[in-house]
Structure 1
Amino acid sequence: MQTSVIDFFCGCGGTSAGLAKAGMNVLVGIDYDESALKTYKHNFPEAKALSTDISKLTCRQLEKELGEVPRPLLFAACAPCQPFSTQNRHKDSADTRVVLLDELHRFVRKFRPEYLVLENVPGMQKVQHGPFFRFIDLLKKLRYNFDYDVLDAVDYGVPQSRRRLVLIASKVSPISLPQKTHGDEDGLIDYMTVKQAIGHLPALEAGSCDASVANHQTARISDINLLRLKHTPEGGDRRDWPDELILNCHKKKTGYTDTYGRLSWSEPAKTLTTKCISISNGRFAHPEQDRGLSVREAATLQSFPQDFEFIGTISQTARQVGNAVPVRFAECLGKQIITAKDGQIDG
């Protein structure tokens, strides 16, 4: 029987898209980000899209929305992760996002889903008494089988290096994380490169779009940054610029060389963020064209299919892409759960 999915913190739908591709039936997506939920509704017209803060959603309300829930049931959850991100330089212990994963406890206790998938930034598992281990304690009390580790999406066919803390759990069978499929070792498929992912997309100038491809739109850049890009070779960065183009804040710093950097055609992309179309926020410049990535290129590097359309302004859609779970990565996790469901994993 097809596994049913409730996607908590669904965002624009990266996890849902991957699980659906694995063969699951997406019932509900839940998020409070209105712009992301518009994209979710557009791409999952058969699913319910609930616009709500999970801390204000009750089990009774969700039960009413669901009616009779087809089993087996999977809960997917990628709680907002910025408080634990290594890129967050303004951590705040009072940040309400820290406890959002705790809100999932109520729903797990009530519905006892057969399967769970959690994805978040590495860092959560380093907080000894934090939300991740509180969730582990819940799984132990409810007698779930589970496995977790830090995985890199690039090892599963995503054309982007993206390290994430991943947990999968099963109430009905032993389960383990999937083995990587891509890499440099014998027997593995070669890593997918930027060229393989986006090399086919039409050329663009900064601040333009190509209406023949959904969301193939780029941000404007200043004349000085355009000049900087002209001095940046494929795979290069600000270290390739003449002295007069180097920013004062960079003159005494040797780190953070990814900012204003170009991607390399022959390698996977660096981790995409919510600012993935801005050249000043990471290695997000096109390998050879003098511009940042388009929203479509960023989405493709997140392994979204080309017919997945993002709704909103260019900054809103870029944010949706940067926050998403890579589709192919979610698909691999979904297939692993289906394998466990079919009794093919021996633990």
Structure 2
Amino acid sequence: MNPDEVSVFDFFAGCGGTSQGFSDAGLRITGALDHDENATATFKNNFAHVSILQRDIRDVSIDEIEALTAGKGVRLFAGCAPCQPFSPQNKNRSKSDPRRNLLQEFQRFVSALQPELIVVENVPGLQAAKNKGPLGIFLRELARQGYEYDVGVLRALEFGVPQERRRLVVVASRLAIPVLPRPTHVVTRRPPRTVRSTIGHLRPIADGGVDSRDPDHAAMRLSDANKVRIRATPEGGDRRDWNRKLLPDCHLVHGGHTDAYGRMWWDRPASGLTTRCLSYSNGRFGHPEQDRAISLREAALIQTFPPNFRFIGSLTSRGRQVGNAVPPTMARKIARSLLKSH
């Protein structure tokens, strides 16, 4: 199967991480859906030729998607739903969270429109409930409808993404037995992709600053207290390196989450980026050397977005878009493996 024979409809498209990776693999992105206004604007800004519907998938009918895909030869549905209901980073997870059912919403369109190929990506926590959970229900329905599938947890670092990020991936097909990609990067004591090799070339900026040449090379402003804290933090260090007087009250009695207020290492991959990846206090998101959190451009490069990819919205919104995205490099290799198996 040649890449240019495959048209894609990207559900939960976000800012376009999956679409970027699939496009880089040679697939044709012909339509997309997402509910977030800023993410949709970012998608339009980078995929001007693609029609994207800004709606909540729960309010979209089969007929609407069928009309959007009619005559475009769409053969692949991508469904990378928001992962927060199943993420271990979310301490307020609830079985009543309506987002837990988004995979079943995606299933509605699969069942009705029967694409030949399917790709789903989410956090490994989606497997937690096993057969009784959303993933088990989804896979049983795929099998009932005649799809073959492969499912597994992929380590992004083994596919050229310079961060420790593990993602659950499902590939399914009505045409052949699909196969997940095999790792392309051997991870040893000296990983091939590091923070330095990814962002070390960017111009220095201050906290709250913006590079005049790139409006997405922008960093959040630090509070006075956090300016003192980050100056007391060495490369790869965290709050365990501080004088006790610098600790926030919540950390005086709670010793966990040592990545909070941490700096990245230059010559290691980054920790997994989250929707709060621009916030110094919410993870190991401090720049290895400069006294600030990583910028939006640095986060996007760590996620393997192209350097000319432009984001729309407030800095907080843009950071959330990057943290939510599928790393394009990983999406590209998933697409290539799926096509190769056909």
Q: Distance in 2 between matches of 1:90 and 1:273?
A: 15
Q: Distance in 1 between matches of 2:188 and 2:207?
A: 38
Contact 1:39 1:311 survives alignment (8 Å): yes
**Of 29, 47, 50, which aligns to 1:47?**
50
Q: Which residue does the alignment assign to 1:112?
A: 114
SS in structure 2 at match of 1:216: strand
Q: Aligned residue pairs: how many?
A: 338
Contact 2:147 2:172 survives alignment (8 Å): yes
User: Where does structure 2 lack aligned partners over 5 or more consecutive residues?
Assistant: none
Q: Distance in 1 between matches of 2:239 and 2:111?
A: 52
Contact 1:155 1:191 survives alignment (8 Å): no
Q: CA deviation at 1:185?
A: 5.7
SS in structure 2 at match of 1:137: helix
- Moved runs in structure 1, 4+ residues, more than 4 A? none
SS in structure 1 at match of 2:10: strand
Q: Which residue does the alignment assign to 1:296?
A: 297
SS in structure 1 at match of 2:277: coil
Q: Which residue does the alignment assign to 2:217?
A: 216
Q: Is 2:78 the partner of 1:76?
A: yes
Amino acid of the structure 2 residue aligned with 1:203: P
- Kindly report which structure 2 residues correspond to 1:1-347, keeping only aligned pairs within 5 A, or say none: 1=2, 2=4, 3-71=6-74, 73-128=75-130, 129-184=132-187, 190-341=191-342
Amino acid of the structure 2 residue aligned with 1:29: A
Contact 1:11 1:36 survives alignment (8 Å): yes
Please say which of residues 201-210 and 167-176 is displaced more in the overlay.
167-176
Q: CA deviation at 1:214?
A: 4.1
Percent identity of the aligned residues? 45
SS in structure 2 at match of 1:5: strand
Q: Which residue does the alignment assign to 1:344?
A: none
Q: Distance in 1 between matches of 2:263 and 2:317?
A: 23
Amino acid of the structure 2 residue aligned with 1:176: V
Q: CA deviation at 1:131?
A: 1.0
Q: Distance in 2 between matches of 1:214 and 1:178?
A: 35
Q: Distance in 2 between matches of 1:152 and 1:263?
A: 19
SS in structure 2 at match of 1:180: coil
Q: Deviations over 1:286-319 (max 9, x none)?
A: 0000000100000000000011100111111011
Q: Structure 1 length normalisation: TM-score?
A: 0.95
Q: CA deviation at 1:223?
A: 1.4
Q: Distance in 2 between matches of 1:127 and 1:172?
A: 29
Contact 1:55 1:103 survives alignment (8 Å): yes
Q: Distance in 2 between matches of 1:254 and 1:181?
A: 37
User: Where does structure 1 lack aligned partners over 5 or more consecutive residues?
Assistant: 342-347
Contact 2:80 2:122 survives alignment (8 Å): yes
Q: CA deviation at 1:192?
A: 0.6
Q: Distance in 1 between matches of 2:178 and 2:225?
A: 53
Q: Deviations over 1:113-135 (max 9, x none)?
A: 11111000111112131111111
Amino acid of the structure 1 residue aligned with 2:63: R
Q: CA deviation at 1:66?
A: 2.4
Q: Structure 2 length normalisation: TM-score?
A: 0.96
Contact 2:158 2:187 survives alignment (8 Å): no
Contact 1:214 1:306 survives alignment (8 Å): no
Q: Distance in 2 between matches of 1:24 and 1:200?
A: 31
Q: Distance in 2 between matches of 1:102 and 1:82?
A: 16
Amino acid of the structure 2 residue aligned with 1:213: D
Q: What is the aligned-residue RMSD (CA, Å)?
A: 1.4
Amino acid of the structure 1 residue aligned with 2:286: A
